[in-house]
């Protein structure tokens, strides 16, 4: 009698499982069919950091202030830079990040004075060696650097002319004021 009860219970469980399977078989898939379908990442998605293009100069605007390097708790950022001839601000010449160490905390994005750091939307980064995760963030910008420097020189010249104009206007206003 116990054997018959076990067989009936097993059959009932099997039929219940088959019903659930058939019910879900008719529904559309819940998961994406990766890699055939690419997933659209949300704004909150965090992955490796990248340099963001500033539209006014057509390149990144990293000024080698090293704030991101100093604030990084993982010590994964390494910067070098120089002051190009004719510019008042420095430009980065090396911006290396070891993403094997990076914890995606976002502190580097928070302290960046030029807002040139952001998160990448690429979600399927993979590698076999630790060296696969050592990136030079300036590499994609190498061909745009000369044009960016020229545009920055133009912007600095415009700003200097504006400051000189304001100083001349202030001086002229001071001269026109009658002495009491």
The answer to the question of residue 134 being in a domain is yes
The answer to the question of residue 14 being in a domain is no
β-bridge pairing 77-82 and 49-51 = unpaired
Structurally, how many domains does the chain consist of?
1
The pLDDT score that the predictor gives to residue 180 is 59
Q: Which structural domain, as residue segments, surrounds residue 134?
A: 49-173
Would you say 50 and 68 are in contact if contact means Cβ atoms under 8 Å apart? no
Q: Taking residues 82-99, report their average pLDDT.
A: 91
Q: What is the CATH number of the domain that holds 119?
A: 3.30.70.3270
Q: Which residues of 40-65 are buried (b: 16+ CB within 10 A; e: fewer)?
A: eeeeeeebbbbbbbbeebebbbbbbb
The answer to the question of residue 29 being in a domain is no
Handedness of CA 17, 18, 19, 20 (dihedral sign): positive
Q: 4-18, 23-37, 76-90, 158-172: which has the minimum mean pLDDT?
A: 23-37
Q: Taking residues 30-51, report their average pLDDT.
A: 82
The answer to the question of residue 9 being in a domain is no
Q: Is the pTM of this model over 0.75?
A: no
The answer to the question of residue 15 being in a domain is no
């Amino acid at each position: 009698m116990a054997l018959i009860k076990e067989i009936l219970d097993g059959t009932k469980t099997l039929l219940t499982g088959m019903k659930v399977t058939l019910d879900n078989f008719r529904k559309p898939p819940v998961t994406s069919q990766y890699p055939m379908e690419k997933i659209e990442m949300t704004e909150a998605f965090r992955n490796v950091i990248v340099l963001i293009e500033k539209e006014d100069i057509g390149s990144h605007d990293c000024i080698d202030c090293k704030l991101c390097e100093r604030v990084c708790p993982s010590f994964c950022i390494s910067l070098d830079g120089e002051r190009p001839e004719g510019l008042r601000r420095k430009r980065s010449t090396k911006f290396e990040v070891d993403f094997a160490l990076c914890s995606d905390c976002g502190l580097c994005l928070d302290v960046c004075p030029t807002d040139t750091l952001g998160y990448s939307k690429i979600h399927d980064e993979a590698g076999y060696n630790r060296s696969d995760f050592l990136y030079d963030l300036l590499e994609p910008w190498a061909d745009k650097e000369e044009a960016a420097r020229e545009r920055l020189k133009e912007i600095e010249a415009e700003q200097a002319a504006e400051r000189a104009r304001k100083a001349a206007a202030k001086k002229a206003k001071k001269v026109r004021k009658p002495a009491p």
